[in-house]
Structure 1
Amino acid sequence: MGEVRKLQKKLRQIENLEIKISLSPEEKFKISRKAELRSRLAELQLQLSGPQQTLGIVGDGNKEKMKRQVEDALEALPSQTPPASKILKGEMESRAQAAPAARQRVARRDAAEPDRLQDGPEPAKVSHQSGDESGGCPDRDTEQLLRQEEAEFTSLKASWEKARFRLRLLEGHNDIITSVVAVDNLVVSGSRDTTVKVWHVPTATEQKNLGGHTGGVTCLSAPPLEHCRKLARSLFLSDKERFILSGSADCHVKIWALSVGQCVKSIYTFNAVTALCFVPEGDGYIITGSDGGKLQAWNWLTFQNCQSVNAHQEAVTSIQTQGPLVFSGSAEGGVSVWENRCSDRDPLRLLHHWSSQVTGLGGGRLTLSPRGDRVFLAYGRAWLQILQWRTGVISRVTNHSSVAGVTDCVHQTGGLLIGSSYDLANGESTLNLFSLPRCRYLASLTWPNAPRILCFAAWTTGSGDHRWVTGGRDLIVWEQLPSSGKQRGDVTVRRDSRIDSCLLESEGDTEDDEETDDDEDNLDEGDDLGAEDGGSGSWLRCVLQ
């Protein structure tokens, strides 16, 4: 079992090495051993697996312990209650058999979480057998609502199980794609080959190649149309002009006019830019994060630096906005929440900072996606972390059936939470779909020889169908096919029983796993891969080389 864990760590480190632009002969040799290590790991898993072992679960002691905890929890439930997932702390699902006092607590909780009400009611699992036996009969309105919610979720799940997508490969980059954004019928991609490319989605063709960075492009952002018009007027360009922001390891942020394919402004930040976003408040602000943990704000129209603050101890790996709020995450696992005060001097005011001791993260590239009072965090492990950013309460969503799974990015679109999942043991890549706001598992999407997904963007067509773009080794456009058509899709839709049986876990449920992950990338001195290749710092240095 110890050898299984060591092999998993080696494979994790090899995957981090593979994203480097330049490799030494020693590093190339380590990468060449990936197939050999995977073969050995598969052999050990087969030996350790038994007839009662859950499919896809690595048979090490830690994972077996998790499995026993789930089974014990299910046995402790009343016999009338159907198998239930672990419940997210503070967001326990209302059940038809709940006592009146419990229903009152649920009502108070919902009133305190307006972000959940914006999405309307989300389905909850209901046991219709136990209402009378529990000593109280729920009122008819509550029971009817729960039945309706369950029916809606069942219908949504069934529709995704039948979903079909056509995949189209966009060829042109010669290195890993680090960031993607969608603008109208265009996809814009940035790569560590130093270029930004513009693609016409309907024809899947390269429209423009924006060269100008001298270092790898690490991040992109698309300002909204209203702010594009403001800048276009100041530059005497058409009101229909759209702009794209790109950040690079060359310490520059460039603003590109898409129609002409030219850089209209270049901002030198004095630091390698590792993350950026656009804040559409007031005249607009560009927020950049650096490899040293610095956060900077720049006026959208004057491009003057409004603020520089040492926000994090290590590289800023993700910046996202929600109204006037700015969320930043870093490689050491810290998450900060800022309020934009729309001023020309120091516009960002720190509201909350949660260190890695609170988030339990670290040792990877953290990406985040805010939603109301919650922030979904992906950081290179087998689950998605959920941070209640006002209180610091931590929970998680299972996003892989094996501890060898890696979550690289998380995204929200159209009532869906989408997490990428990559299996270090066999190289299999999937997208896992969850319904919002309760994060109930819907389905997993994959296709033959799917590469690791490092970035994601999404939009919907006029008919309401989904269009996605994923980046990593390959740049791929996903186009949802009409349900009434006969065209065969390129994507396999399946359900992972392990994810389905352990959806939402409270902070207390994660402790055993966290202990094993604390030293995930620290191998013994005698290990042939060496500890110097693991950890968050080396991962980010790989990105910036």
Structure 2
Amino acid sequence: MGEVRKLQKKLRQIENLEVKITLTPEEKVKISRKAELRSRLADLLLQLSGPQQNLGIVGEGKAEKMKRQVEAAHEAFPSQAPSASKISKGELQSKTQATPAPSARQKEAGSGGWGGEREEREDRQEADRQQETGPPPNVSHHCPEVSDACPALTPRDPRKEKQPEEEDAVFTTLKETWEKAKFRLRLLEGHSDIVTCVVAIENTVISGSRDTTVKVWHVPTATEQRNLGGHSGGVTCLSAPPPEYCRRLARTLSLPEKERFILSGSADCCVKIWALSTGQCVKSVYTFNSVTALCFVPEGRGYFITGSGSWGKVQAWSWHTLENCQSISAHQEAVTSIQSQGPLVFSGSAEGGVSVWENLCSERDPLRPLFHWTGQVTGCGGGQGSRLALSPRGDRVFLAYGRACIKILDWRSGSVSRLTNHSSVAGVTDCVHQTVGLLIGSSYDLASGESTLNMFTLPQCRYLVSLTCAEVPRVLCFATWLTGSGDHRWVTGGRDLVVWEQLPRSTKQRGDVTVRRDGRLDAPSLESEDSADDDDDDEESDGYGDEEGGDHRVCPNATDGEPGSWFRCVLQ
């Protein structure tokens, strides 16, 4: 397992190196070894998945480290453990009745089922005894979704019996619909470097790239409409103000009220406001810091919030006057994601911290901090090249941080759950996005180079299907919208800018995307018991120098450090 972890770590480092604009000769040599490392990793995974392999035995070391290695092996090779879909309902109920407390179930789930024959035999004996004596008091016969994270069982309520059945029926119908979905892919060619951000406004897509340009695309014809040049550094983020705020700015600039504007942030420390109809830059704001995240807050007179790659600053700017209203050193490293939800603003950083702010709609200091959760709490602490992307929904925030799972943070309580987004630890999740009733997580396999979009229902987060195409590279950014007929249109950015167009059900045209289901993603979200376990693969040295390593998690009283490692890695 040690060599597997080292190879996975090296491949992560190579993927981060590939998105740099300039490379040293040593870095080019490392990238040239990518195919060789993938081949070695595939061979090791094949050997370790054999029936003769004993994954739980190590020569020496602490028992806790051995336990983590066994748990990681189970996550890496889930095919050796029975999937949830293959366990009968009766067996689930008997195991639930035989389980004295949810915490015991969680510990049992953490062991991954390896060497658990004695526990299974005891479960069967206990189930047989309960069939003779009857179930214990206050234990419900009706538990439609038994999971390792299932809360304490409650007595049976006949009035709610039909609700789970109805939910299952709706889920089954939705799953069958998506299993038959067809998509046509179209490549939008024009950028000369990696696409870092995308925004969709109806049938118009705006993309930003590290080639310093912002491009405007007409999706139905797959043509480039505008090339917005003016930044002197890589474009890192985009934001589209709502129409009513665009009308206010248009009136002050004596432009037609139907004019739409787009904001772009860049490593050149500027936020530029562009008029889409003409492609002209109408305003430019110098922030004195490299801009790595950007979000428009449609509250009051309007604000836009910028995140900095220098010292982790979060800054608020008035949409009316374009003046700086507030500047806070909120994070230790680069701010990599900012999103708004009503009057709330959420910021995430490279060290894994998440902050929640309330917009007071005041002229000065409009952001009031509500909560701050460090990387130790979120379990998203990373090393150089780390990037945290977030997507809020109610009391939850979905976090993608370059690992195989999606973290779900309850931002009020600080509790964290895991949502499986890849069938092995060799997977990387770069972005997570919400659209109508759906949660979409990108997944990239370090071992095979396959890129996948996994779809889950909202708010239940139940796995639906996976969409994959061999020609689509790693997905770094995502945008969605619906057509007039209700079909989905998506755009993904990375090394290529690709439009995903859902075809009508009645069409006989063959789709470009493979729709499949991975039963190993059916597992429900699990409460995270030890967030540090996700970063175990960063603890061992692999001889690759300083690209990734050490503990970069935030301490509550830490002082500001150097500019964020994510920013240095991808935009230097």
TM-score range, shorter chain: 0.7 to 0.9
The root-mean-square deviation of aligned C-alpha atoms, in Å, is: 3.0
Equivalent residue for 1:245, pick from 231, 252, 263: 263
1:267–1:82 distance in 2 versus 1, CA, 3 Å:
farther
User: Alpha-carbon deviation of 1:69?
Assistant: 11
Equivalent residue for 1:390, pick from 409, 412, 432: 412
Q: Given the two structures, how large is their TM-score scaled by the length of structure 1?
A: 0.86
User: Alpha-carbon deviation of 1:276?
Assistant: 0.6
Residue 290 of structure 1 pairs with residue 290 of structure 2: no
Sequence identity percentage:
70
Aligned partner of 1:540 in structure 2 is: 567
Amino acid at match of 1:391: S
Amino acid at match of 2:31: I
1:243–1:42 distance in 2 versus 1, CA, 3 Å:
same
Q: Secondary structure at the match of 1:532?
A: coil
Aligned partner of 1:345 in structure 2 is: 364
Task: Please give the alpha-carbon distance, in whole angstroms, between the structure 1 residues aligned to 2:303 and 2:156.
Answer: 54
C-alpha contact (below 8 Å) 1:293/1:310 kept by paired residues: yes
Equivalent residue for 1:156, pick from 168, 171, 174: 174
Amino acid at match of 1:470: T
1:137–1:253 distance in 2 versus 1, CA, 3 Å:
closer
Aligned partner of 2:299 in structure 1 is: 281
Amino acid at match of 2:255: L
1:467–1:65 distance in 2 versus 1, CA, 3 Å:
closer
How many residues align? The count is 498
1:387–1:202 distance in 2 versus 1, CA, 3 Å:
same
User: Alpha-carbon deviation of 1:47?
Assistant: 1.6
Aligned partner of 1:443 in structure 2 is: 465
Aligned partner of 2:526 in structure 1 is: 505
Amino acid at match of 2:308: S
User: Alpha-carbon deviation of 1:102?
Assistant: 8.3
Equivalent residue for 2:246, pick from 224, 228, 244: 228
Residue 355 of structure 1 pairs with residue 367 of structure 2: no
C-alpha contact (below 8 Å) 2:433/2:441 kept by paired residues: yes
Equivalent residue for 1:376, pick from 398, 409, 419: 398
Alignment of 1:13-52 (within 5 A): 13-50=13-50
1:237–1:9 distance in 2 versus 1, CA, 3 Å:
same
C-alpha contact (below 8 Å) 2:138/2:154 kept by paired residues: no
Deviation sequence 1:203-259 (CA, Å, 0-9, x none): 000000000000000000000001000000011100000000000000000000000
User: Alpha-carbon deviation of 1:498?
Assistant: 1.1
Deviation sequence 1:155-201 (CA, Å, 0-9, x none): 00110111110000000001000000001210000000000000000
Aligned partner of 1:460 in structure 2 is: 482
Equivalent residue for 1:328, pick from 330, 347, 351: 347
Task: Please give the alpha-carbon distance, in whole angstroms, between the structure 1 residues aligned to 2:208 and 2:503.
Answer: 27
Q: Secondary structure at the match of 1:390?
A: coil
Task: Please give the alpha-carbon distance, in whole angstroms, between the structure 2 residues aligned to 1:144 and 1:415.
Answer: 22
Task: Please give the alpha-carbon distance, in whole angstroms, between the structure 2 residues aligned to 1:484 and 1:82.
Answer: 45
C-alpha contact (below 8 Å) 2:379/2:532 kept by paired residues: no
Aligned partner of 2:115 in structure 1 is: none
Unaligned runs of 5+ in 2: 54-67, 107-134, 147-152, 553-563
C-alpha contact (below 8 Å) 2:17/2:570 kept by paired residues: no
C-alpha contact (below 8 Å) 2:346/2:392 kept by paired residues: yes
Aligned partner of 1:201 in structure 2 is: 219
Task: Please give the alpha-carbon distance, in whole angstroms, between the structure 1 residues aligned to 2:333 and 2:69.
Answer: 32
1:354–1:50 distance in 2 versus 1, CA, 3 Å:
same
Task: Please give the alpha-carbon distance, in whole angstroms, between the structure 1 residues aligned to 2:71 and 2:145.
Answer: 32
Alignment of 1:460-539 (within 5 A): 460-500=482-522, 502-508=523-529, 511=530, 514-521=531-538, 523-524=540-541, 527-533=542-548, 537-539=564-566
Task: Please give the alpha-carbon distance, in whole angstroms, between the structure 1 residues aligned to 2:175 and 2:500.
Answer: 19
Q: Secondary structure at the match of 1:520?
A: helix
User: Alpha-carbon deviation of 1:408?
Assistant: 0.2
Unaligned runs of 5+ in 1: 54-58, 93-97, 107-123, 128-133
Q: Secondary structure at the match of 2:547?
A: helix
C-alpha contact (below 8 Å) 1:88/1:506 kept by paired residues: no
Aligned partner of 1:5 in structure 2 is: 5
1:473–1:358 distance in 2 versus 1, CA, 3 Å:
same
Task: Please give the alpha-carbon distance, in whole angstroms, between the structure 2 residues aligned to 1:489 and 1:142.
Answer: 41
Task: Please give the alpha-carbon distance, in whole angstroms, between the structure 1 residues aligned to 2:543 and 2:214.
Answer: 37
Amino acid at match of 1:45: L
Task: Please give the alpha-carbon distance, in whole angstroms, between the structure 2 residues aligned to 1:528 and 1:507.
Answer: 30
Determine which structure has more spread, i.e. the larger CA radius of gyration: 2
C-alpha contact (below 8 Å) 1:256/1:262 kept by paired residues: yes
